Chain A
Amino acid sequence: MDFDLNEEQRLLKDSIDGLLTDSYDFERRKTYMKEKGGWSKAVWGKLAEQGLLGLPFAEADGGFGGGGVETMIVMEALGKALVLEPYLATVVIGGGFLRHAGSDAQKAAHVPGIVDGSKTLAFAQLEKNSRYDLFDVTTTAKKKGDGWVIDGEKFVVLNGENADTLIVTARTKGDRRDKSGIGVFLVPTDAKGVTKKSYPTQDGLHAADITFTGVEVGADAALGNPDDSLALIERVVDEARIALCAEAVGLMDESLKTTVEYLKTRKQFGVAIGSFQSLQHRASDMFVAAEQARSMSMFATMAGDFEDAKERSNAIAAAKVQIGKSLKFVGQQAIQLHGGIGMTMEAKIGHYFKRLTMIENSFGDTDYHLRRVADGGGLV
């Protein structure tokens, strides 16, 4: 039983915190947002220089062999600084598919570009009516020669605008909600038949709706078994959920800190508003919520390595429930305690609130995961 970071992990935390303190304040974030695709190539390059983009890959593949705790450290730090860059899409999700299912050739083709920062990825999974069910897939991949032809529509693909390669879930067999017959395919964004409609998201990121019309890919495009990859998708999405939990913890920490600073400096009736007990109690409840979330983020991080898939997904679902509840409370109360200034685009707190809110609606919300835990027989 040990909740502490080891020496190397502490160094990692210090180095990413240091990097983001130097290059990522709220003002600079605004300028990064205006760059093409909505994030900073220069910052991405710095993340690469520090080895953070290669963190979870095996050393044999050119990475640094980091595990779940390392990713947790990075995601928490990215959350704290409200980072725009596509770490989740590229390293956690894209990297996850390559790590778990990539052939040697696929890894050789994609991992070096991720590690050195020259290439980014995006996960094209959500469909018009699929909501949070990963097996609800209508996009098709039909066999043609050695390769496949992909047809369908994907929505809200984060980093879809900038990505070099898309990771696409598509059905090779069966009907819309069948659990088998789903494959995962690597598709170059500039492939013929790929059209994108890009837009900013509520939390300042960028996404795209992507249409695939007769997109032809080769035999080497399939990651894992093209007829039966739901378990792979669930595994990688579970890792994305774990990462989102950690990011949310970072966001909540910073939201609470910013709010407490505001309570100490904002004066009304001649005193700091933090001297009012009703506001103190609200801030204390935010602290409790954030600590409960931190505990479950750690739990989810550990659960990522559980061998038993059911146990793993149950634990991660539970974590996402706690994070969802906590983030809603912390986010909403941070705005409330800031008062009118919290409603303005100019103040940073609102941007934290918006990112937290979008995390709630990513890869299953609180109700969705609560029902999963409940249907799975609970947690005691």
Chain B
Amino acid sequence: MDLAFTKEEQAFREEVRSFFRDNVPPDTRRKLVEGRHLSKDEMVTWWRILNKKGWGVSHWPKQYGGTGWTSVQHYIFNEELQSYPAPQPLAFGVSMVGPVIYTFGNEEQKKQYLPRIANVDDWWCQGFSEPGSGSDLASLKTKAERKGDKWIINGQKTWTTLAQHADMIFCLCRTDNNAKKQMGISFIVFSMKSKGVTVRPIQTIDGGIEVNEVFFDDVEVPIENLIGEENKGWDYAKFLLGNERTGIARVGVSKERLRRIRDLASKVESAGKPIIQDAAFRDKLAACEIELKALELTQLRVVADEGKHGKGKPNPASSVLKIKGSDIQQTTTELLMEVIGPFAAPYDVHGDDGSNEAMDWTAQIAPSYFNNRKVSIYGGSNEIQRNIIAKAVLGL
């Protein structure tokens, strides 16, 4: 047992950190620190910088542009990226559809899609959830019917994150109505520019627009856009969801936010002195930091285990990471609310024009608190994660 990073790993951390320092556009970083939404341009610009460096799809196999890093190196990279902070790679392309394509796709599909995912020439979105299929994903109804050399797609997806920017969608569609619900699903990709695709934004309680409804009305898709085998889509979806197992804890994000809380709490006054000097507040902050340290180590245990024994099957420990990781993210946003106090109330009256530097940092704190309620809901709600632990770990 040795929980220290090796000299090489520490050097790697330095290398990554200094690359971020030199290359992340300062305004992009500031917006992330303040919890603001980035424009499509800002995100794509950064991802292309990352891709140019060869780190855009770091965890892919080397032959498709990956880095060949160890599990620990990936962990360090992600932590540094999240805590700098810089925008994380677009998960829908890089972590989700990319691995499905290089694992189950044919050579033609690999050649066609993978380089464009890496460089974000195509912005991908995820067509999984439907109005009637949240946690019970396999009950989905969107239909793909085969007609000659085309799929005809009809139905509706929802909670489609950043679909307003998307060029491509990967979609779970029902291709066999008679099979058991998991068995009749196929994994089909197509252009969001196709005729019959309509995107309707959903405004969330923070006022932002991240998610959308997407409607398919007789959308024609070439037959070769099926990934893998027909009616095996559920397997690919499970593969996809189990693939991103440790990033979900978002330890780096919480670390960055805790640093910010410390910083703000040393400036904002309560009872005539900085709120950081209030013992009760400080206890709460320390309690959150300790939870995060425990989570970081739990995550490293999973990372080290993967490094040693390979990835293999989805590890139920990822449910622990999801539950605690979302708890802690939510706690950090609560602590920010506590720091800001009555100035949580004003809606973003100043905008982001830099006209009121003293107040700009306050604008996104309440929205970020509201927005972060999502983290215990998405990606398999925390209740679903508890079901998984009960079943897969405890055998209940």
Contacts and interface: CB of A to CB of B under 8 A. Distances in A.
Interface in A120-164: none
Contacts of B319: 284
B389 A288 contact: yes
Contacts of A373: 286, 289-290
Contact of B304 (A3, A283, A287, A371): A3
Nearest to B9: A1
Contact of A2 (B2, B294, B390): B2
Contact of A283 (B285, B324, B394): B394
B94 interface: no
B317 A1 contact: no
Nearest to B295: A292
Contact of A318 (B1, B290, B320, B387): B290
A295 B301 contact: yes
A284 B292 contact: no
A380 B390 contact: no
B300 A3 contact: yes
B286 A275 contact: no
Interface residues of A, number: 44
A296 B282 contact: no
Nearest to B2: A2
Contacts of B307: 1
Interface string B367-396: 000000000000000010111011101111
A163 to B, nearest CB: 32
A280 B290 contact: no
Interface string A291-310: 11111101101100000000
B72 interface: yes
Contacts of B285: 374, 378
Interface stretch (B52-60, B199-207, B254-262): B254-262
Contact of A292 (B2, B5, B298): B298
Nearest to A372: B286
A219 B139 CA distance: 81
A288 B324 contact: yes
Given A2-B304, A291-B317, A378 B286 contact: yes
Contacts of B293: 296, 299, 318, 322, 379
A295 B302 CA distance: 11
B271 interface: no
A103 to B, nearest CB: 32
A263 B396 contact: yes
Secondary structure at the B interface, as helix, strand, loop or mixed, is helix
Contact of A299 (B297, B305, B383): B297
Given A264-B396, A292-B324, A280 B279 contact: no
Contacts of A371: 279, 283
B6, B255, B386 — most chain A CB neighbours (10 Å): B386
B323 interface: yes
B297 A295 contact: yes
B209 interface: no
Contacts of B282: 374-375, 378
Contacts of B394: 260, 280, 283-284, 287
A287 B304 CA distance: 20
Interface of A: 1-6, 9, 69, 260, 263-264, 274-275, 277, 279-281, 283-285, 287-288, 291-296, 298-299, 301-302, 318, 321-322, 367, 370-371, 373-375, 378-380
Given A1-B303, A264-B395, A379-B292, 17 more contacts: A1-B5, A277-B387, A279-B396, A284-B385, A284-B389, A284-B394, A292-B320, A296-B290, A296-B294, A299-B294, A301-B1, A302-B3, A321-B290, A370-B287, A374-B282, A378-B258, A379-B293
The 10 closest A-B pairs by CB, nearest first: A280-B390, A295-B297, A374-B286, A284-B389, A284-B386, A379-B289, A374-B282, A292-B294, A274-B396, A281-B386
Interface of B: 1-6, 9, 72, 255, 258-259, 262, 279, 282-283, 285-287, 289-295, 297-298, 300-301, 303-305, 307-308, 317, 319-320, 323-324, 383, 385-387, 389-391, 393-396
